[in-house]
């Protein structure tokens, strides 16, 4: 799974058009907005299909950790295929995104943008050093329902990731 | 090079803090905004260093093609490290981003956001099927200055890419 986490003044979306794999949605789900939110752009990948529960649990752990650091109480779970060239099936993608939404909902105000729709969106990224972070997650190969505490790949520590900005650390 | 192209009602940025590899910039470059623009989020990769001119020319070709399709006359060149885990050196990154800016400037109104700065940004994505497209570009291995017409990897055709949305085509 690829995550791009943006600490946002606001994030809003509105569905425009369905794709062939669009999730069936209620009218109330056709648009959404959160203020002062951590926006989690997420690409669910093939590798996540081998351990759906593990993928959900590792993603939730990362999102919670960053939300706590930036003191965000609101989280937007936003499907974003363009973060990966090795996407999961749509079915697994929807299941994992819903699982992440559900797991976060106890502690945060959570909205999820629908899967498989062309959407207009507006976002305002705050711009502080922790306001744009990316994470790669690889769940254990276990197909059981136990969540894993291993197998996670965090590209860098939060601080060095923050320093990455649009650069590398090798200057 | 990884490209994420967003057809935007507006895109604006404001620098917040320099990183150790920040480009030195004039005050006038510290913020910028374009309306009705194609925003090109770009991660320059190690592979681009072997043929800087070729990488620039293939990127310019892709950006021009999409700008023409969506009828955008304004282009924002925006460095975005989070699109790749195999980034070029900062020096090559800046050179290639400037090269793309210069090459597009004849035909379009172009702004470029500075490299190596934490930036706040606001964007509004239009949401039509061609308003979010991603491209991977690999230049020829030639180290000469000749631009190449081969070696480009377009993940999918524009139409199927558009259909990708947050899904795969395998449903
Ligand atoms: Mg409009």
A115 against A152, higher pLDDT = A115
Per-residue pLDDT at B152: 37
Interchain contact, A132 vs B82, CB within 8 Å: yes
Say what the ipTM of the complex is.
0.85
Interchain contact, B117 vs A16, CB within 8 Å: no
Q: Is B16 on the interface with A (CB under 8 A)?
A: yes
Interchain contact, A167 vs B115, CB within 8 Å: yes
% residues pLDDT > 70 (chain A)? 82
Contact predicate B77/B111, CB 8 Å: yes
Q: Is the pTM of this model over 0.90?
A: no
Which of A22, A115, A120 is nearest residue B127 as measured by Cβ atoms?
Answer: A120
Per-residue pLDDT at B140: 83
A13-67 tens-digit pLDDT: 999 999 999 999 999 999 999 999 999 999 999 999 999 999 999 999 999 999 9
Per-residue pLDDT at B144: 44
Per-residue pLDDT at A140: 83
Contact predicate A74/A32, CB 8 Å: no
| CB-based contacts of A30-36 (< 8 A; 24+ apart in sequence) | A30/A114, A32/A76, A32/A111, A32/A113, A33/A111, A34/A8, A34/A10, A34/A74, A34/A75, A34/A76, A34/A109, A34/A111, A35/A9, A35/A10, A35/A74, A36/A8, A36/A9, A36/A10, A36/A72, A36/A73, A36/A74
A106 against A136, higher pLDDT = A136
Q: Is B136 on the interface with A (CB under 8 A)?
A: yes
A158 against A116, higher pLDDT = A116
Per-residue pLDDT at A159: 36
Per-residue pLDDT at A64: 98
**CA–CA distance from A10 to each of A64, A66, A107, B145 (Å)?**
18, 17, 19, 44
Block means of pLDDT (10 residues each) for chain B, 171 residues, are: 98 98 97 98 98 98 98 98 96 98 97 98 98 95 44 37 42 32
Q: Is B7 on the interface with A (CB under 8 A)?
A: no
CA of B66 vs chain A CAs: smallest distance (Å): 16
What pLDDT band is residue A142 in, cutting at 50, 70 and 90?
low
Interchain contact, A129 vs B120, CB within 8 Å: no
Interchain contact, A168 vs B132, CB within 8 Å: no
pLDDT at A73 over 70: yes
pLDDT at A145 over 70: no
């Amino acid at each position: 799974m690829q995550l791009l986490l943006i600490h946002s003044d606001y994030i809003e979306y509105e569905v425009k058009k369905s794709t062939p794999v669009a999730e069936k949605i209620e009218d109330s789900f056709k648009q959404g907005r959160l203020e002062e939110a951590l926006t989690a752009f997420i690409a669910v990948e093939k590798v996540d299909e081998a351990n759906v529960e593990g993928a959900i649990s590792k993603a939730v752990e990362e999102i919670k950790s960053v939300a706590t650091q930036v003191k965000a109480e609101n989280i937007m779970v936003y499907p974003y295929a363009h973060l990966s060239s090795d996407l999961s099936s749509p079915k697994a993608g929807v299941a994992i995104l819903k699982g992440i939404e559900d797991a976060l909902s106890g502690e945060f105000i959570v909205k999820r943008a629908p899967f498989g729709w062309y959407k207009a969106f507006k976002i305002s990224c705050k711009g502080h050093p922790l306001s744009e972070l990316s994470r790669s997650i690889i769940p254990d190969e276990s197909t059981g329902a136990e969540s894993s505490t291993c197998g996670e790949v965090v590209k860098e520590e939060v601080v060095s990731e923050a320093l990455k900005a649009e650069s590398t650390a090798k200057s």
